[in-house]
């Protein structure tokens, strides 16, 4: 087990193009989170899954953003019609939870998106 | 909404010196996480604190959550170049069981040899 894996590490795209990122969580983890981080700021919560169910979405996640976790394992985050303001580091994180308590949250190395 | 303020924003210390980073919340903390981040990289989990008065240590790093559960401190003893990076605190102001965190803006730590 090598931790949370994200692909690609870097993505450069032109404004208006669609992009898709992939996250592979730690294998036994049932929760998966997407965060976004801009330069000089801390990460901001976007959305999270419990198994395959998307349980919460932030207001930051506009209609151009969609996330899926079809089999409760890996997840994809798609951004349609990218804008320059979408340029950021997109971080995936995962945890294992069986109850109502909070658990350790492990992050991947992120995908750095640059929209030209 | 919950806000986290970290202080100082940046810190330059000589190798071997001790240092402390603080994280203050606008609301009661139900889970306080400390992470370290290298520039352009992901977050490395350091510690998680949940109970008021809780203190945890790992190698030369100690983190505490105060009794009133609205402030945490991270203390590094005998700092080394490997400690350099950005330290982020993250917290959830809800007692609901998930890890939807609000983060501070980070403390950038530089170690001078």
Tokens of B25: 């919340």
What local confidence, expressed as pLDDT, does residue B29 receive?
Answer: 82
- Report the percentage of chain B scoring pLDDT > 70: 96
How far apart CA B67 and CA B84 sit, in angstroms, is 29
How far apart CA B87 and CA B95 sit, in angstroms, is 24
Instruction: Say if residues B53 and B29 touch (Cβ distance below 8 Å).
Output: no
The shortest C-alpha distance from A17 to chain B (Å) reads 23
Residue A113 — pLDDT band, cuts 50, 70, 90? Answer: very high
Taking the CB of residue A90, how many other CB atoms lie within 10 A of it? 23
Tokens of B113: 């040899």
Residue A114 has pLDDT above 60, yes or no: yes
Hey, is A85 helix, strand or coil? helix
Q: Name the average pLDDT for chain B.
A: 91
A93 chain-B contacts, CB cut-off 8 A? 43, 99
Instruction: Say if residues B3 and B93 touch (Cβ distance below 8 Å).
Output: no
What local confidence, expressed as pLDDT, does residue B40 receive?
Answer: 82
A112 chain-B contacts, CB cut-off 8 A? 40
B88 chain-A contacts, CB cut-off 8 A? 42-43
Residue A93 — pLDDT band, cuts 50, 70, 90? Answer: very high
What local confidence, expressed as pLDDT, does residue A87 receive?
Answer: 97
Task: Over range B28-40, report the average pLDDT.
Answer: 89
The shortest C-alpha distance from A74 to chain B (Å) reads 18
Across the interface, of A42, A56, A104, the residue whose CB is closest to B104 is: A42
Please indicate if any CB of chain A lies within 8 Å of the CB of B2: no
CB contact under 8 A, A91 and B35: no
Residue B55 — pLDDT band, cuts 50, 70, 90? Answer: very high
Residue A43 — pLDDT band, cuts 50, 70, 90? Answer: very high
Hey, is B81 helix, strand or coil? helix
Rg for chain A (alpha carbons), in Å?
A: 14
Residue A69 has pLDDT above 90, yes or no: yes
Tokens of A109: 């190395």
A vs B, Cβ pairs < 8 A, gives 75
- Taking only residues 43 to 62 of chain B, the set having a beta carbon closer than 8 angstroms to any beta carbon of chain A reads 43-45, 48, 50
- Of A23 and B2, the structure prediction assigns the larger pLDDT to A23
Instruction: Say if residues A94 and A1 touch (Cβ distance below 8 Å).
Output: no
Nearest residue on chain B to A48, alpha-carbon basis: B100
Give the Cα-Cα-Cα angle B49, B100, B91 (nearest 5 degrees). Answer: 35
The shortest C-alpha distance from A50 to chain B (Å) reads 9
CB contact under 8 A, A105 and B99: yes
CB contact under 8 A, B48 and A104: yes
Task: Over range B58-77, report the average pLDDT.
Answer: 91
Residue B78 has pLDDT above 70, yes or no: yes
Residue A102 has pLDDT above 80, yes or no: no
Q: Which of A84, A108, A97, A113 is nearest to A34 (CA)?
A: A108
């Amino acid at each position: 087990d090598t931790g949370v894996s994200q692909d690609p590490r870097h993505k450069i795209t032109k404004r208006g193009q669609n992009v898709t990122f992939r996250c592979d969580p730690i294998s036994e983890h049932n929760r998966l989170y997407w965060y976004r981080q801009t330069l000089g700021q801390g990460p901001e919560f976007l959305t999270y899954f419990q198994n395959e169910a998307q349980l919460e979405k932030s207001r930051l996640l506009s209609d151009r953003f969609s996330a899926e976790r079809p089999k409760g394992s890996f997840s994809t985050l798609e951004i349609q019609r990218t804008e320059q303001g979408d340029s950021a580091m997109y971080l995936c994180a995962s945890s294992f939870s069986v109850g109502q308590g909070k658990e350790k949250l492990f992050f991947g190395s992120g995908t750095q998106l640059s929209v030209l | 909404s919950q806000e986290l303020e970290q202080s100082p924003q940046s810190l330059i210390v000589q190798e071997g010196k001790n240092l402390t980073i603080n994280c203050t919340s606008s609301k009661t903390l139900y889970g306080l996480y400390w992470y370290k981040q290298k520039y352009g990289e992901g977050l490395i989990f350091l510690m998680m604190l949940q109970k008021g008065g809780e203190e945890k240590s790992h190698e030369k790093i100690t983190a505490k959550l105060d009794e009133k559960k609205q402030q945490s401190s991270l203390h590094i003893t005998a700092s080394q170049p490997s400690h350099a990076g950005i330290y982020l605190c993250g917290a959830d102001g809800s007692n609901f069981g998930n890890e939807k965190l609000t983060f501070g803006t980070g403390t950038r730590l530089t170690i001078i040899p």
